[in-house]
Structure 1
Amino acid sequence: MMTKTLLLSQDDIARIIAAVGRDRLMDLIIARLSEGLSRADDATSETPARSGFVRGEDAAGVLEWMPHHQVGQGITIKTVAYTPSNPSVRGAPTITGVVGRFDVISGRLEALTDGIFLTALRTGAASAVASRLLARPDSRVVGLIGTGAQAVTQLHALTRVFPIERVLVFDICRAHQESFRSRVEFLGLSVEAAALPELERNADIICTATSVGVGEGPVLAGEELQGHAHINAVGSDLPGKTELPREVLMSALVCPDHPEQALREGECQQLDRASLGPDLASLCRRPELGAKSQGRLTVFDSTGFALEDHIALDVLLEIANDLGIGTSIQLEHFPKDPLNPYAPSASAGLSMPTSFDVAMS
């Protein structure tokens, strides 16, 4: 019997955050990402590299689709738009999108929700997972290059797995740099504006999350990095768009999230496949691969891939079900006669969404 589609609106997402709490929610995503990545293999999951096209008046703007198939469990597809002019011109986030969950057998839409919060949450969590595997465990100073929306969850996630004491920030947009303090006030950390050389000299972990244009990078010189520094390179998401100097990559252990995708549009496009270190899933399966490099320069090339979205959506759906949040509607048209599109609706015979269970302990 066909079921309705569960919709999670922006108000529903706000209710989830309020009910669970930012810290607990981030902890859940970090834990589930680490677990899910460690179990990922070609026999049980399929995550093609994303695809899309340039669109709109903004030359840097793209709209992409990101699919993931978990064999026997579900298919997640995220459509995500990257529009650097959104914050200043339209008062909207740089990254917008929606995420859908589809039934493997019938192909019908089971759930649909916002992709803005989900993307920020899982991207921060992915950096925390990678940093825990590659950075020194006693890392206390974080440097943030780019202080937009992604920087908030990058810092939040790192505070959940490291004893962070000091935060250094740099952004070419001084308004964003100044407002960052209030946006992360909930963390109770001192946030200091810093010139790039100072940030490089002092940071144990650096996150680059910028809107640098194609061919306009790098965003740091890399000449004064600490020998043990770890970098989460988050901003590269287009061919020709990079944030780090090639010299830094050549001297570091570079670990991509999705090798095929990273070679096409991440920092790894500056390297060849033979120069890459283990990918994030391999690091999660064999932590010793990263542990032996925690005293040297390391880079996590975070292009973002749909397995992360699939896992994050699982968590949100489970919480929504546990708390009774969301609206079930008949979005797709199911006529009583499936061979006649003009036949009356079969909605009278529809059941409620499949139950999701969540372990909140």
Structure 2
Amino acid sequence: MLRKVGRDAFMDEMMERLSDGFRALGEGRLATSPARSGFVRESNGTGVLEWMPHHAPGDSATLKVVGYTPSNAATSALPTIIGTVSRYDDATGRLTALADAVVLTALRTGAASALASSVLARRDSRVVGLIGTGAQAVSQLHALSRVFDIERVLVHDIDRDNADSFLIRSKFLGLDVRTAPPETIAAQADIICTATTTEVGAEPVFPDRDMLGHVHVNAIGADLPGKTELPVELLRRALVCPDHREQAVKEGECQRLAPEEIGPELATLIAEPERAEAARDTPTVFDSTGFALEDHIALDVLLGFAAQLGLGTAIEVEYHPSDALNPYPDEA
């Protein structure tokens, strides 16, 4: 699909559809998703396995099961974030589609950050900083490049090989990408994206020092209770907008803030962008935990392109006996 449609067209469609979905949610025309659930795994280092449901009454339900395993790249040659997403008919409960969630998650997460940046960051933002240069960083920068006229990109990763390879992985964007220490990124970037696998209770991934007064941060790495990326001092002087408040107060940057210190959700700002206009010249943070409405919409985009291009494979997964009241075949 990416080859046939093109990376830019795919990302543009994802951003447009997510924007429509967030606006509908912010205007009360759409129900939000339940908070995700899951469990922590310790079999290959600390990781999680989570399930994220979204229900569109009268139409369908979408369920993403996603594994977050920071050690995957080093031990198994697998992405840090892997999973599948499935779609069920609301009238019958039948499974109607099953898709990979690796690319889907990367695309919708990057698209959501770009949408948040479009309402919170300065419109003349030119310098982007990326802290953490894994798979998520590629789609973060790609999506931002569709919204802002980026002149320079500063990247840092505690794994120097990852940072160096990012220069190659992001080459298709044609941007000036160079490595830099976190202190330089904090001081020079108009927009910062943090996408790290930092440990629970670890120090912030960049210092709260000499930062631009209008800096906007897309924080996407926090996904466990106690795991955060940003300096708490920055959070307390910034307008902090979560994607899903219930999730963010449990495992996002918002878990360190009092309720009155948390700003409106992204859906509200997409529906009422004037509420964020005055904040563009002040520090802002998008607390991105990722929620199932994003996956529901992303799967819609995926299925739309599949239908348009004639892609996908029909398979018999469910057993449908000739007699719906008898689970045993006649010949048993």
| Aligned residue identity for 1:45 | A
SS at match of 2:281: coil
Give me the whole-angstrom Cα distance separating, in 2, the residues matched to 1:218 and 1:90.
28
Distance 1:57 1:274, change over 3 A: same
Is contact 1:44-1:71 (8 Å) kept? no
- How far is 1:272 from its partner? 1.7
| Residue equivalent to 2:235 | 249
| Residue equivalent to 1:89 | 75
Give me the whole-angstrom Cα distance separating, in 2, the residues matched to 1:298 and 1:209.
17
| Residue equivalent to 1:198 | 184
Give me the whole-angstrom Cα distance separating, in 2, the residues matched to 1:43 and 1:316.
23
| Residue equivalent to 1:78 | 64
The one of 250, 254, 262 equivalent to 2:248 is: 262
Give me the whole-angstrom Cα distance separating, in 2, the residues matched to 1:158 and 1:262.
22
- How far is 1:215 from its partner? 0.8
- Structure 1, unmatched stretches of 5+, are 1-15, 346-361
| Residue equivalent to 1:54 | 40
Number of aligned residue pairs: give it: 330
1:25 aligns with 2:1: no
Give me the whole-angstrom Cα distance separating, in 1, the residues matched to 2:60 and 2:330.
29
| Residue equivalent to 1:207 | 193
Give me the whole-angstrom Cα distance separating, in 1, the residues matched to 2:151 and 2:330.
63
Give me the whole-angstrom Cα distance separating, in 1, the residues matched to 2:100 and 2:31.
23
- How far is 1:158 from its partner? 0.2
SS at match of 2:329: coil
SS at match of 2:314: strand
1:226 aligns with 2:183: no
Distance 1:340 1:125, change over 3 A: same
- How far is 1:43 from its partner? 6.2
Q: TM-score of the superposition, structure 2-length normalised?
A: 0.97
- How far is 1:173 from its partner? 0.4
Identity of aligned residues (%): 58
Q: TM-score of the superposition, structure 1-length normalised?
A: 0.90
| Residue equivalent to 1:121 | 107
| Aligned residue identity for 1:232 | N
Misfit runs of 4+, over 6 Å: none
- How far is 1:111 from its partner? 0.3
Comparing 68-77 with 227-236, greater Cα deviation is found at 68-77
| Aligned residue identity for 1:200 | A
Give me the whole-angstrom Cα distance separating, in 1, the residues matched to 2:190 and 2:330.
63
| Residue equivalent to 1:308 | 294
- How far is 1:58 from its partner? 3.0
| Residue equivalent to 1:34 | 19
The one of 290, 297, 309 equivalent to 2:283 is: 297
| Residue equivalent to 2:164 | 178
Give me the whole-angstrom Cα distance separating, in 1, the residues matched to 2:301 and 2:330.
36
1:280 aligns with 2:256: no
SS at match of 1:24: helix
Is contact 2:45-2:71 (8 Å) kept? no
Give me the whole-angstrom Cα distance separating, in 2, the residues matched to 1:309 and 1:295.
31
SS at match of 1:175: helix
SS at match of 1:40: helix
| Aligned residue identity for 1:27 | D
SS at match of 2:280: coil
- How far is 1:343 from its partner? 2.3
Give me the whole-angstrom Cα distance separating, in 1, the residues matched to 2:31 and 2:308.
26
SS at match of 2:210: coil
| Residue equivalent to 2:152 | 166
Is contact 1:128-1:158 (8 Å) kept? yes
SS at match of 1:328: coil
1:321 aligns with 2:321: no
SS at match of 1:199: helix
- How far is 1:344 from its partner? 5.6
| Residue equivalent to 1:9 | none
